[in-house]
Amino acid sequence: MSEHTNTTKRRSAIQIMGSLIGLVKPPLLHIMLAAIILGTLGYLCAIFLTILAGQVIVHGLLTGIAGMIVPVEKMWLVFTPPVKTIITIMIVIAVLRGILHYVEQYCNHFIAFKLLAIIRHKVFASLRKLCPAKLEGRDKGNLISIITTDIELLEVFYAHTISPPIAIATLTSIIMVIFIGRYHWLAGLLALTAYLIVGVAIPMWNGKRGSQKGMEFRTSFGD
């Protein structure tokens, strides 16, 4: 066997993410769940704000200008209330969107920086066992990179990856597929297909394209 053969197999991205998510334990777990729930509600507020406004406008155009008779049961959240009531509902939803988004981001960053402290503690505890001989080797640049840059990058994972793109996006997409599908199952299927392409297929494709470049940059930075 060649001496250059790499005997250690690099873990997959799923395995690495699983290990990182495993660090989210009580008392941080309930904060993560709160961030996911509040974030989902916040995105739904933003979505249904436009849906409500759009349906009210369409209903008014069809009944007022075109003179058509549109059954109220066909229009979601339109029970022919006064215009002031509709505007009040939209203002409440808009304010809730801002509040929910702020609390969700606060929870995510609280978890992220708490975990960064835990990870740094683990790294330094291991480093104390290896010093001073380990810092005399050729990979000391990689060790310093782990302690500084790599751990800082984990903030992006915990604050901007677990909750918003993965958990919140999944829950919001499921709810919207059900909502859209109640009008027609083909519309729901089309929405599901679009969500899978934009949220799963394209990111995985881009990830595979950029993984090699990322490792090359990581190695050169360590050197």
Dump pLDDT digits (tens) for 3-43.
444 445 667 767 777 777 777 777 788 888 999 999 999 99
Tokens of 102: 């702020």
Give yes or no for residue 196 having a pLDDT over 50. yes
Give yes or no for residue 222 having a pLDDT over 80. no
pLDDT tens column, 162-186: 776 788 999 999 999 999 998 889 9
Q: Which residue did the predictor score with more confidence, 204 or 170? A: 170
- In sequence order, which residues have a C-beta less than 8 Å from that of residue 101 and are 6 or more positions away? 39, 42
The secondary structure of residue 11, as a DSSP letter, is P
Give yes or no for residue 69 having a pLDDT over 70. no
Contact of 16 with 148, CB cutoff 8 Å: no
pLDDT band at 135 (very low <50, low <70, confident <90, very high): low
Please report the pLDDT score of residue 19 as a whole number. Answer: 77
Quick one: average pLDDT of 86-96? 88
Overall pTM surpassing 0.85 (yes/no) = no
Please report the pLDDT score of residue 171 as a whole number. Answer: 94
Provide the percentage of residues in the chain whose pLDDT is more than 90: 26
Asked which of 34-43, 49-58, 65-74, 117-126 is least confident by mean pLDDT, the reply is: 65-74
For every residue of 91-134, DSSP letters joined together read: HHHHHHHHHHHHHHHHHHHHHHHHHHHHHHHHHHHHHHHHTTGG
Contact of 217 with 150, CB cutoff 8 Å: no
Q: Give the CA distances from residue 16 to residues 19, 157, 178, 179, in Å, rounded to whole numbers and listed in that order.
A: 5, 11, 32, 34
> Of all helices (H) and strands (E), which one includes residue 181?
helix 169-181
Q: Residue 174, Cα to own-chain centre: how many angstroms? A: 14
10 Å Cβ neighbour count for 184?
A: 10
